Structure 1
């Protein structure tokens, strides 16, 4: 039993760095709502479609619970997502793209999303798929606009 727990702990610890590499995290100088407004505007200006904006803190409030400001933007561009789904329809589990913006317990605002490279291993996509690079660049550019000083 102890050996199984040690093995399980080792697997958990070994997996932690991989999981951490799958997330891209940036800090924003703006509050959550402003960061999310800027992201939504950048997405729309780039010609992508915003499917939903989820205010998790408002949902918590409706359930008579507290949650620091936390919002999720769900968006995509079929010109990038469709080729990925043509290669592996299970990619539809991870698309459209999602970006989470939240305030931590110190009030610092974080912007976080899953790295598109994760799709390659999670769904068996070709490692040289051009759409992965385009998704990566798009997310980097859009989130940079969200947290920019201008």
Structure 2
């Protein structure tokens, strides 16, 4: 029984490590709200559209619970995302894109699932240019959100 539990624990640890590699995470010198506000302003200035802003800390408080600040911005550009969803309708689960800004200990982080991970997850044959553009846009936008004032 102990060997079985140890094997399960090792398998879960390996799975979690593999999933962590799928993320792009950056540190922010700003708090969660300021980082999210900066990213939202960058989205508004570009071709993407903000679909939603989810404040998980506020939702937890509404339920009588506490948690550290965590905000998700959901945004996309239908001209880029629609052809990807046409190629593989399951991609609609991950599109529009989502970026998480969260506080962990005393640090603020901003992160998202890498475009490479999305490409591995779905059948996007012939979409290399669109995916490269998406990766560049995510990198540029999140870099802008974490720039010092």
Match of 1:77 in 2: 77
* Distance of 1:10 and 1:126 partners within structure 2: 34
TM-score, length-normalised on structure 1? 0.90
Q: 1:76 to 1:128 in 2, by over 3 A?
A: closer
Q: 1:18 to 1:65 in 2, by over 3 A?
A: same
Moved more, 35-44 or 113-122: 113-122
Match of 2:15 in 1: 15
Tell me, yes or no, if the aligned pair for 1:119 and 1:125 is still in contact at 8 Å. no
CA deviations on 1:102-140 (whole Å, 9 max, x unpaired) are 1112x2111111111112221232386221111111100
SS at match of 2:65: coil
Moved more, 47-56 or 128-137: 128-137
Residue 53 of structure 2 is aligned to residue 64 of structure 1: no
Match of 2:41 in 1: 41
Instruction: Give unmatched runs, 5+ long, in structure 2.
Output: none
- Size of the alignment, in residue pairs? 149
Match of 2:128 in 1: 129
TM-score, length-normalised on structure 2? 0.91
Match of 2:140 in 1: 141
Residue 110 of structure 2 is aligned to residue 114 of structure 1: no
CA RMSD of superposed structures (Å): 1.7
Instruction: Give unmatched runs, 5+ long, in structure 1.
Output: none
SS at match of 2:30: coil
